[in-house]
Amino acid sequence: MRIRYGYRIELVCAHEMPLVTLLDVHPSRRHDLTMPDEMRVSALADQSLPITVTQHLDAFGNICRRMVAPPGGIRLESEGVMHDSGEVDPVNPAAREVQPSRLPDDVLVYLLGSRYCETDKLFGQAWSLFGQVQPGWQRVQAIVDFVHNHLTFGYHFARNTRTAAEAFEERIGVCRDFAHLAVALCRCMNIPARYCNGYLGDIGVPPDPAPMDFNAWFEVFLGGRWYTFDARHNEPRIGRIVIARGRDATDVAMISSFGSHTLQRFEVITEEVQETPMPLRRPMPAQFDAHPAAA
């Protein structure tokens, strides 16, 4: 199957404002692109004004872009089409936990507490809740089930400073809060977990009437590889497109601005491309079966 995705974001600012964005599809999915999806950048006040954009990879392998928004503001937009298997997130109940002593070096960081995932505050609750659950996939799924049922989702609950421990106490949140709490609880149980964000359209599920947005989920390291889990939806989904991975939302902020601004426009789209069936060809009349010159 093919998935069309993209965004249009407009930021209004009175003065020059440096920006760092993480809005590009993750390098691990670039080979699935069917067309380039380069970010288009333009000034809101004077669209002919050139804006220099540079690109680099951060410490977690995500694609970052740097630029300076001119006075008046900036528009960021992109669209692309991606091949996708059309299969749901892999499920492997036989996947086992890997002891910390045997984890790859680059995975160890995902056992530690971080800005939004305070393992020190949730350690006791985690072991009380999941210490008796069979280690491995069953334990992670138990954590996902708990978070899914413990938190109530609502866009009006959004607060960009809410941590995993606060979500645990308040029992409300948006998708990032579901991911943060699940990540923190997994790390408390010595299961490496990392935060992810990206596109997730309503493919294979009833359409959500709310405006499209980016989504957050998480991945855990079991049996020597990373698996996707989603505490908000709590079901395998079709068509995830990863943008960035990190310890928590701090590492994968889609826009980091260094100055005051107003968000004027924010649009996201993710949808399956409906293939148009090719018309059936009718057989040519017998007298046209061969070119006259060949007779």
Q: What is the pLDDT of residue 289?
A: 33
Confidence of residue 99 (pLDDT cuts 50, 70, 90): very high
Mean pLDDT of all residues in 266-285: 70
Q: What is the pLDDT of residue 292?
A: 31
Q: What share of the chain is helix, strand, coil (3-state, %, to 5)?
A: 25, 30, 45
Q: What is the pLDDT of residue 275?
A: 74
pTM: 0.90
Confidence of residue 277 (pLDDT cuts 50, 70, 90): low
Residue-wise DSSP of 9-61: EEEE-SS-EEEEE--SPPGGGGGGBSS--PPEEEESS-TTS----EEEE-TTS
The answer to which of 54-63, 226-235, 264-273, 286-295 has the lowest mean pLDDT is 286-295
Mean pLDDT of all residues in 64-68: 97
Q: What is the pLDDT of residue 294?
A: 32
pLDDT per residue as tens digits for the range 165-220: 999 999 999 999 999 999 999 999 999 999 999 999 999 999 988 888 999 999 99
Taking the C-alpha atoms of residue 287 and residue 242, their distance in angstroms, rounded to an integer, is 56
pLDDT per residue as tens digits for the range 234-269: 999 999 999 999 999 999 999 999 999 999 999 999
Q: Collapse the DSSP code of 288 into the 3-class scheme (helix H, G, I; strand E, B; otherwise coil) and give the result.
A: helix
Q: Structural domain boundaries of the chain? A: 2-85+253-272, 100-238
CATH architecture of 2-85+253-272: Sandwich (2.60)
Query: For the stretch 53-64, what's the b/e string if a residue is b when 16 or more beta carbons lie within 10 angstroms of its beta carbon?
Result: beeeeeebebbb
CATH number, domain 100-238: 3.10.620.30
Mean pLDDT of all residues in 65-84: 96
